[in-house]
Amino acid sequence: MKTIIKVDHASRFYTVGDITVKALNDVSLEIKEGEFTSIMGPSGSGKSTMMNLIGCLDSPSDGNIYIDGQSTFNMDETELADLRNKKVGFIFQQFNLLSKLSALENVTTPLLYSGIKKKKREEMAIAALQKVGLGDRMYHRPNEMSGGQKQRVAVARAIVTNPSIILADEPTGALDSKTGKQIMDLFWGLHNEGRTIIFVTHDKALGEQCLRQVHIKDGKMVEEGVTHDN
């Protein structure tokens, strides 16, 4: 199967005054197309740094990261933005919807940055919203929706560009367990469509539901586990 993400001896150092903090230290990892992977670790372990690097929000201090075969080394802000737009769909714990925009406008936003025409943008966004079961909530603003609905909008926004990776950072962290389960079901549905999903969490039980688990501690990869698909 095709390798979607290749983390090649990647490190990320932060310099604070005279001290250099190694947030991620020489990590290598490959994620294949269609995999449902969790990245787990306690807070401060470096899993957020890992997510930022894979999500092209940041670039490594050392080593390299390949997204869908493309090296991110030496990419400037504009190139990284373009890569994020085309290859990565983000889902955040706090939904991160644009509060002044309707659900539909939120979902069309990444398409706007891809330079897609208005009519086509709306068609694609409507399809994505219908897919997550929000066909009747398109013109509602985030403050008129429940947590679960907001997260569904976020999922629709993440999948609307048909990205190579869906990167979810604690997507059920702000939801009650019932709603959380519904969102997880949505992820499983996406997985079954063959999408590559990376699930970042500190919740062991949740992470272990994923087919592949990557554990990070003190900036290093410590363990990998595989749960077989059933």
Q: Is 100 in the site for other proteins (CB under 8 A)?
A: yes
Which of 47, 150, 157, 215 lies at the binding interface for other proteins (CB under 8 A)?
A: 157
Q: Which is nearer to other proteins, 58 or 68 (CB)?
A: 58
What number of CA atoms fall less than 13 Å from residue 154's CA on the CB side?
Answer: 27
Stretch that binds other proteins, among 54-62, 63-71, 172-180, 215-223 (CB under 8 A): 54-62
Stretch that binds other proteins, among 63-71, 99-107, 182-190, 214-222 (CB under 8 A): 99-107
Beta carbon of residue 160, minimum distance to other proteins (angstroms, whole number): 10
Pairing outcome for strands 19-32 and 36-40: unpaired
Q: Is 81 in the site for other proteins (CB under 8 A)?
A: yes
Stretch that binds other proteins, among 74-82, 145-153, 180-188, 200-208 (CB under 8 A): 74-82
Which of 77, 136, 143, 230 lies at the binding interface for other proteins (CB under 8 A)?
A: 77
Q: How far apart are CA 179 and CA 124, in angstroms?
A: 25
Give the N- to C-terminal CA distance of the chain in Å, as an integer.
19
What number of CA atoms fall less than 13 Å from residue 20's CA on the CB side?
Answer: 7
Which of 36, 50, 63, 84 lies at the binding interface for other proteins (CB under 8 A)?
A: 84
Pairing outcome for strands 3-16 and 19-32: antiparallel
Q: Is 11 in the site for other proteins (CB under 8 A)?
A: no
Q: Which DSSP category does 212 fall into?
A: E
Instruction: Please report, to the nearest 10 degrees, the dihedral formed by the alpha carbons of residues 105, 106, 107, 110 taken in order.
Output: 100
Q: How far apart are CA 54 and CA 123, in angstroms?
A: 29
Q: Which DSSP category does 135 fall into?
A: T
Residue 146's nearest CA partner among 117, 182, 200 is 182
- How many residues line the site for other proteins (CB under 8 A)? 26
Q: Is 110 in the site for other proteins (CB under 8 A)?
A: yes
Contact residues for other proteins (CB under 8 A)?
A: 52, 55, 57-58, 77-78, 81-82, 84-86, 90, 92, 96-101, 109-110, 112-114, 157, 161
